[in-house]
Chains A and B, each alone.
Chain A
Amino acid sequence: MAIVELNKIRKVYDTKVAVEGLSLTIEPGTMFGLLGPNGSGKTSSIRMMIGMTVPDSGTVSLFGKPFDRASLHRIGYLPEERGLYKKMKVLDQLVFLGQLHGLSESTARSRALVWCERIQITEAIEKKTEELSKGMQQKIQFIASLLHEPELIIMDEPFSGLDPVNAELLQNTLIELRRAGKTVLFSTHRMDQVEKMCDSIGLISRGKLVMTGAMREVKSRYPRNRVQVVFSGDESFLGHEEVAEAKNYAGIAEIKLHHEAGAQMVLAAAIARGTVISRFEVKEPTLEEIFIEQVRASFGDEEARGIIDA
């Protein structure tokens, strides 16, 4: 049973098509990364996922059933644009938001205190929101979306604007939640985070799903045709017929091959010519490279340069 299933959803705002025929499946207990350049329809898709807007056509299923507002209590949502009541005290705020998710006041209060401890912001509890830094407000809102122990956690750009220490703290928290059996979906521009954390990804560009699947599967679709060689001596192997492109930075060469299988031939040729190899590494394509390639393909090269900010 898929925990989220979008079936050909489409949303048009006036004349702008925000999402076009998007289908997506998220399995329970996975960490799903939703990628895409700015304005590609990530937020619109997420809003339709939680019933904030209704798709013009297509269907949304949550927890194996057609969308129903009752299931919203099983979802924790962190919107892209953070918002808290400025004049309210942090603890009151968390209790209020917890209650809206169906918790009793006392449960909300005790869980809020536990979470503040866990995310290391106990000193903020008695303060008003407007007295806090932006990063701290973000942590408060992060807690607010988790208080009711949701099975599905949806976070729009959860780490943007955080310093590396706090970003890592929240990343680790999400990883722990995923280990505890929760399903996590988050959107981001940061490929390194996705590569490190996610089991599956979906890439959206111009309102369409360009690519989706398990991380390994996605990567395996791309040829492992890049090699980095650290060497000394004869460099004539760089002219081997399997080499499509080679850059030599004084002893460190980056090679692009025609075929994956070519790596062994190039290595054999180098050794045969007496080159001393101190490192020979066949590299996986990074997600970033895949991302840029896919987005460019969807826009056309020229346009992409100005739009991608990955």
Chain B
Amino acid sequence: MHNIWLIAKREYTERIKTKAFLIATILIPTLMGGGFFAVVSMAARTKTTSHIAVIAAQQQPAADLKQELENGKDSKMTVDILPASTPHAVLDREIAGKSLDGYLVITPATEEGARPTFDFTPKSSADIATSTAIQEALHTVLTREYLGEKGVSVSQTASLMSPVTLNIIGKHGEHGNSRTSFLVAYVLFFLMYMVVLLYGMNVARSIIEEKTSRVFEVLLATIKPDELLAGKILGVGAVGLTQVGIWMVVAGLLAARVGSASGIEISMTQIIFFIVYFVLGYALYSSVAAALGAMTNSEQELQQLNMFLMMPLFFCMLMLFPVINSPNSLLSRVVSQIPFCSPLLMDLRISISMPQPWEIALSIGLILVTIYAVLWVSSRIYRVGILMYGKKPNLPEILRWLKYS
């Protein structure tokens, strides 16, 4: 135990001291936060701001349409109303000169009671946002006009056309927010995914480090291979946890200031289960990475094998949507018991809809057993593998090594 502690301590202090750690700690959240901010502000700006012309013979519905497009819910466009006599060629020239984004021609209906015809000529047919906005605005305007003609008052029309609110009631009767719990589950899922991928490979690399620098021979003269591997996983793991911890604390502080406004709340249960499954999943994937490190002699060989680390994660990604859609279906219950998936998927189920307690207990038990088994196998591979270096082992050889003492 003392040896494991010594190995872990060395691994931790040496890694924390590096510049790479400092840079990653600061840079990754900065980049991700920046990216998130950029996406949000871009989304805010998807309100179309096109400049169009409307050619209409009559004042109505063109004036209402102008009002709706300039001050509507989803658009902030500039609209010029032109008389029907305006030659189209002039407008075509303006479009070519980029001073106009398109023009709409309203032709009054020839029959009584029929709708007018609307012909829109856009600068680019790919400008879906503008045409959608015009289409919606026209629908609103025509409906309002029709209701007005039938003698419905303006205020009645407004209340009739306002959107409906659907309240989602949680288990304990309070107003829950399914979008929030979905969002939280999603964020936690990706946080775990990223850290496992990032630090799992670090464990593998740190195990290769002893092989390329040939330090293992001195180490193995006093300690056992499983102590070395366990120490490595703990040490590198602690570095990852430190980094995530720093991010979480900073995020928590920010959320305390900004979060109350956004209305996103994470329950205590969610946090506790996230931490439990995060640590377990991290330990499991690290031990798989340790096994990969034990099998290979160089970074290049490791690259070829890292799909074994990625594949279960990809599988979890695929299962993400079925589980979100119906968290208590048979499929969800089965895949969330697979040790390589349960840290991600069981945690997701807990966030969305609490599973049976025995399901949680079983999944934790399975993960622990798998970690032990993977570690046992990898320490065998490590011990035999390093003493026969220089050649990549094939599968039958690895199986044979497991029998060696």
Of A52, A82, A84, A86, the residue contacting B220 (CB under 8 A) is A52
A249 interfacial contact with B, CB 8 Å = no
Q: When the two chains form their complex, are residues B215 and A13 in contact, meaning their CB atoms are under 8 A apart?
A: no
Contact A47 B222, beta carbon cutoff 8 Å: no
Q: 0/1 per residue, A78-101, Cβ < 8 Å to B?
A: 010111111110000000110111
Determine the distance from Cα of A120 to Cα of B209 in the docked complex, in whole angstroms. 29
List residues 72-116 of chain B with CB under 8 A from any CB of chain A: none
Please determine whether B10 and A79 come into contact, CB atoms closer than 8 angstroms: no
Is the Cβ of A83 less than 8 Å from the Cβ of B3? no
Interface readout for A59-70 with B: 1 if CB under 8 Å, 0 if not? Answer: 000000000010
- Given contacts A50-B221, A72-B221, A79-B221, whether A100 and B214 have CB atoms under 8 Å apart is no
Does B14 have its Cβ within 8 Å of any Cβ on chain A? yes
Is the C-beta of B219 less than 8 angstroms from some C-beta in chain A?
yes
Interface size of B in residues (CB-CB distance below 8 Å): 22
B214's contact among A52, A79, A87, A99, by CB below 8 Å, is which?
Answer: A79
Q: Is A144 an interface residue when CB atoms closer than 8 A count as contact?
A: yes
CB nearest neighbor in A for B400: A14
Asked whether B224 is an interface residue with its Cβ less than 8 Å from the other chain, the reply is: yes
- B14 near A83 with CB under 8 A, answer no
Report A83 CB to chain B, min CB distance, Å: 3
- Nearest CB in chain B to that of A86: its residue: B213
Closest residue on chain B to residue A50 by CB atoms: B221
Q: Is there a chain B Cβ closer than 8 Å to A77's Cβ?
A: yes
Beta-carbon contacts of A26-47 to B below 8 Å, as 1s and 0s?
0000000000000000000001
Check if A100 sits within 8 Å of B223, measured CB to CB.
yes
Asked if B218 is an interface residue, CB under 8 A from chain A, the answer is yes
User: At the interface, yes or no: A73 with Cβ under 8 Å from chain B?
Assistant: yes
Q: Is B218's CB under 8 angstroms from A141's CB?
A: yes
Specify which chain A residues have a CB less than 8 angstroms from the CB of B218 in the assembled complex. Answer: 77, 79, 83, 97, 141, 144-145
In the assembled complex, A75 has its CB within 8 A of some CB on chain B: yes
What residue of chain B has the Cβ atom nearest to residue A101's Cβ?
B222
User: With a CB–CB cut-off of 8 A, which chain A residues contact B209?
Assistant: 85
Question: Is the C-beta of B359 less than 8 angstroms from some C-beta in chain A?
Answer: no
Q: Across the interface, which residues of B come within 8 angstroms of A84, CB to CB? A: 213, 215
**Residue positions of B touching A, CB distance < 8 A:** 3, 6, 10, 14, 18, 209-210, 213-224, 387-388, 405
Can you report 30 residue pairs joining A to B where beta carbons are below 8 Å apart?
Answer: A47-B387, A50-B221, A52-B221, A72-B221, A72-B222, A73-B222, A75-B221, A79-B217, A79-B221, A81-B214, A82-B214, A83-B213, A83-B215, A83-B216, A83-B218, A84-B213, A84-B215, A85-B213, A85-B215, A86-B213, A87-B14, A88-B14, A96-B6, A97-B218, A99-B6, A100-B3, A100-B219, A100-B222, A141-B218, A144-B218
Q: Which residues of A contact B (CB under 8 A)?
A: 13, 47, 50, 52-54, 69, 72-73, 75, 77, 79, 81-88, 96-97, 99-101, 141, 144-145
- Taking A96-B6, A100-B3 as given, write out 13 further A-B residue pairs in contact, using a Cβ cutoff of 8 Å, ordered by the A residue number: A47-B387, A52-B220, A72-B221, A73-B222, A75-B221, A79-B217, A81-B214, A81-B217, A85-B213, A85-B215, A86-B213, A100-B6, A141-B218
